[in-house]
Amino acid sequence: MSRKKTAILISGRGSNMGALISAAMSPDYPAEIALVLSNRPDAKGLERAAEFGIQTAVVDHKDYAGDREAFERSVDAVLKDHKIELVALAGFMRILTPYLVNAWAGRMINIHPALLPSFKGLATHERALQEGVKLHGATVHYVSAEMDDGPIIVQGAVPVLDTDTPDTLAARVLEVEHKIYPKALSMVASGTARVSGTRVTGSSDSAGTETLIWP
Ligand code: GRF
């Protein structure tokens, strides 16, 4: 089996990165984590990746004085240098331009801490509590031109409890993130996930338990 060479793009602590790296340690996992790239030189996840023996790279967005596309050209060049086939965004805190989105269309996925299409953008847990929703969660989706949009691959749901604060809710969602991201990357890398219009099909399981984790 040829494993798809995958890069993980991070900006921070990299706990989802850690979950993907752990999953990819299994020899029958269809993706190999070949690179961790950060736009921030001080991202904690870089140390963690290096501890796992994974190659790391930094493309500091501050060196590009607001020229997002120039920044993305450099990111793209590093990805190409490493012969990367798939990109997984994991807490990569840059808004992407059509340049990178188009260059990696169908080969770039992201994790968002909410049940999309609800709560796009930041502060998802605060907003979920404010809206009083009873169900919250996380989504892995293909990246498209619009932020936090694109065909949904896997979702994980958690209950919202009366006693929740944004932090306790975030912690519960993060646990489910660490389950759904390895699942989604596996489906994409193995070619099981198929995009058909705005939907992703190809779950091997007709009950849907593969692409939806729920309480
Ligand atoms: C996660 O909540 C992810 O869903 C969001 O940013 C956070 C990154 O956390 N996009 P980590 O760096 O993976 O720990």
What spacing in Å lies between the alpha carbon of 100 and ligand 1's midpoint? 20
**What is the DSSP pairing of strand 31-38 with strand 135-142?**
unpaired
List, by residue number, the catalytic residues.
112
> Would you give per-residue pLDDT tens digits along the chain (215 residues)?
799 999 999 999 999 999 999 999 999 999 999 999 999 999 999 999 999 999 999 999 999 998 999 999 999 999 999 999 999 999 999 999 999 999 999 999 999 999 999 999 999 999 999 999 999 999 999 999 999 999 999 999 999 999 999 999 999 999 999 999 999 999 999 999 999 999 998 876 666 677 888 87
| Ligand 1 pocket: which of 46, 48, 89, 111 to mutate (most atoms within 8 A of CB) | 111
Residue whose CA is at the smallest distance from ligand 1 atom 12 = 14
174-185 burial code (b ≥16 CB/10 A, e <16): bebbbebbbbbb
Check residue 205 and give its pLDDT: 67
- Give me ligand 1 centre to Cα 14, in Å: 7
Q: What is the pTM assigned to this prediction? A: 0.96
pLDDT of residue 101: 98
pLDDT of residue 185: 98
Q: Return the sign of the alpha-carbon dihedral for residues 98, 24, 184, 116.
A: negative
Helix (H), strand (E) at residue 136: strand 135-142
Residues 44 and 56: their CA atoms lie apart, in Å, by 12
Strand partners, 4: 31
